[in-house]
Amino acid sequence: MSDEAQLPARTDTTSEIVRKPVNTLAIVPKSARITLLGRKAYNVLLFEAQEQGLEKEVHRAPLSRIVRGVDFDSNDTNIIKKHLRAMVSTTVEWQSPTTGEGAAWNVSGLLAHAKLTKESGQVWVEWSYAVNLKKELLEPTVFARLKLEVISQLRSHAAVALYEICTRYKDIAKTSRQPWRWWHPVLTGAPHSASVEKLEYRIFKRDTLKSAIAEVNAITDLDIELIEHKQGRAISEIQFGIRLKSQTPLPLRTPPEPVDLKLIAWASELELDTDKAEELLVLHGAEAFKSALQALAERIAKAYPGPVRDRLRYLRSILKSEAEDEVKVEAIAPLQQVTAPKREARWREEWLRRRREQVISEIAAMSLDMQQSLVDGLLADMESKGSHPSIRKRLASSGWQHPMVIQEMVRYYAKGAHGEDWDVVKPEALLEIAAELGDN
């Protein structure tokens, strides 16, 4: 009988539950950052190991049950190796989110070892756990019951960690109270550093807490609220209130398994650093990241007005300037009424202003030689169209950034790089501008 035939069969993936020990919920990295995809993949490995049982010293599974969206006969395997390497080499402290609840304190790697092999055309992953943690990991006594299909939908490490912790304490309706700096490595997956010592609470709240809470509340069966405790005038400790939603959430859009790496694999094909790509994926979300990768791929293929000199910088500029496709209902609600023409015109004007600024940034990021090629091309284009001689003269003498010619350059470059409809606003983008500006 083949190894795969001996593995527990997956029947109803929507009911897959991983029992995560309480000591592993608030893991604190000591040597390297724990990424979102790494944490998701670790949960899947733990689920597989619990299904196979404590008696196995080494666990094995087809890699296709752990991750998807990569071609294992290409360099995509390096993405998997990177995450497995990090699970073995990253030292973490295993602790309970509630002081004194866990049976013991432990320090080890996330995995004791990992191995990839190709057998009969199929890639297998092999892994094991440290001896001081194996029993508690595979047969936990105090644990959180985590739904893998929910975790698969969360798009930030902070949201996954917060969901895991709050699921453990949902029956108590409140997490433990801890200093806010204690929560930083737990939620971000980043080890302590000198920069964290200088971090202000308001920044941590803005960049991590608010978005993680919003994500958990939008996707899971929990409603979470931040509870702040002051010492004097400053926030010293925080905890989270937890309520179960009265209604069952709608079925999620995508299957829970395995962890999807196709966007990171695509970024690798475009010669982007996969660590940086993963950071951008987490920061901006899958839809925006996918759209930006598509725009980058098209720009590379066009090679107009020349090759992309810094692909990562170009990708970041797209993500920074273009709003995510996902528009929050709370922001759109006030716009369900008919908008006055003057307000809509102002919103369109603001979108176009930002669009032009994006185009200007793209041109400015090019080398001087490429900028000069653009100038030469614009001069020829203006001459063929009989543009005013004074504008052509100013372009030749003062460059494309002169106030008299910069808009001509913007239109010339944008049409070639982004198409004729480069300045046409999409409805969802207009709604986001409207939600931001309102009647102001």
- For the cut 60, the answer to whether the pLDDT of residue 142 exceeds it is yes
Instruction: Tell me the average pLDDT of the chain.
Output: 79
pLDDT at 9: 52
Dihedral sign for Cα 309, 313, 316, 318, please.
negative
pLDDT at 252: 44
pLDDT at 338: 40
Residue 32 CB-density burial (10 A; 0-12 exposed, 13-18 middle, 19+ buried): middle
pLDDT at 12: 42
**Mean pLDDT score, 121-150:** 87
The CA dihedral of 92, 30, 204, 40, to the nearest 10 degrees, is -40
% of the chain exceeding 70 in pLDDT: 83
Q: What CATH topology corresponds to 3-244? A: Arc Repressor Mutant, subunit A (1.10.10)
Looking at the DSSP bridge assignments, the partners of residue 115 are: 126
pLDDT at 226: 96
Lowest-confidence pick of 81-85, 159-163, 209-213, 278-282: 278-282
% of the chain exceeding 90 in pLDDT: 17
The domains of the chain are located at: 3-244, 263-323+337-437
Give pLDDT tens digits for 321-351: 654 443 333 333 344 444 466 677 788 888 8
pLDDT at 404: 81
- pTM value? 0.62
Residue 292 CB-density burial (10 A; 0-12 exposed, 13-18 middle, 19+ buried): buried
Assess contact for 215 and 155: CB atoms under 8 A: yes
